[in-house]
Amino acid sequence: MTNTAEGPEQGAEVKINTDVPQSARIWNYWLGGTDNYEVDRVAGDEYVALYPGIVEIAREGRYFMDRAIRHLALERGIRQFMDCGTGLPTVDNTHEMAQRAAPGARVVYVDNDPLVLAHARALMTGTPAGGTAYIGADLHDPKSIMDGASEVLDLSQPVGLMLIAVMGHIVDPDEALGVVRGLMEPLASGSYLVLHDSTDANEAFNAAQRAYDATGAIPFRLRSPEFIRGYFDDLEIEEPGIVTGGAWRPEVDSIDVEDLPTLCGVARKP
């Protein structure tokens, strides 16, 4: 697979809205990146002031994603990955994690943010044995995503679908469940869902999220643990089950994040 990016024509002007904060840029800021603007740093700092644990949630999600990808590549033989809601590049992106474990792995990134698209073109290139591609598409439209993915992945073979800290952007709960099903349905038996999301179990967290939503940014819904478990219905959940990010096959004892309001899991499509 070649390193490609679908979306606006290469070289076209990228229109970036810096009037309101944007979640991918804020997460980049929390993770120590530099691809963010003053409006994002202000919003990020205000969020941290209300709920400092958000920085650990951001880090926890990256640690979980790395462990989950290595698990699928090394223990389950997965060689195709699709990362929906890519976000901005930081240290260790999906293709780096996957191709470090399996150099021939193919990775497709999906996002609709123009800044993410610009960085994907410039930075998200894979190993010679594997490859990366980028699909400019909206998570609200899983059919378009899968139509694009079918052009660069072999959907007759298993795929690891990554949904890391992104499903809260689908505000309507029924639509959110439908998006996950719409992405999983075209995938072959033996494919995996890798999902990490934040819960509404901490009132300080809830208050910080409400304040963020009030800035005019795209809102993000924190949901109940029971709702998040529903994403995994009809799938075979890998051990240790649906747990907080810090409790999913931890490898670093010093990272004490088991009590954060998050849930994650890895599950196989029968």
> What Cα–Cα distance (Å) separates residue 249 from each residue in 90, 155, 217, 269?
23, 28, 34, 20
Contact at 8 Å (CB) between 153 and 106?
yes
Residue 127 has pLDDT above 70, yes or no: no
pLDDT band at 28 (very low <50, low <70, confident <90, very high): confident
Residue 3 has pLDDT above 60, yes or no: no
- Helix axis angle for 142-149 and 173-184, nearest 10°, is 20
Q: What is the 3-state secondary structure (H, E, C) of 47-88?
A: HHHHCCHHHHHHHHHHHHHHHHHHHHHHHCCCCEEEEECCCC
Domains of the chain: 60-201+220-268 (3.40.50.150)
Rounded to an integer, the average pLDDT of 167-189 is 97
Rounded to an integer, the average pLDDT of 82-106 is 82
Structure tokens, 109: 């990134």
So what's the pLDDT on residue 33? Answer: 84
Q: What is the DSSP letter of 223?
A: B
ω into residue 240 within 30 of 0, thus cis? Answer: yes
For the stretch 184-207, pLDDT in tens is 999 999 999 999 999 999 999 999
Rounded to an integer, the average pLDDT of 61-66 is 91
Structure tokens, 236: 């075979």
So what's the pLDDT on residue 166? Answer: 94
> Residue 119: CB partners within 8 Å, gap ≥ 6?
35, 88, 89
> Residue 52: CB partners within 8 Å, gap ≥ 6?
none
Dihedral Cα 142, 147, 153, 154, nearest 10 deg: 110
Residue 270 has pLDDT above 60, yes or no: yes
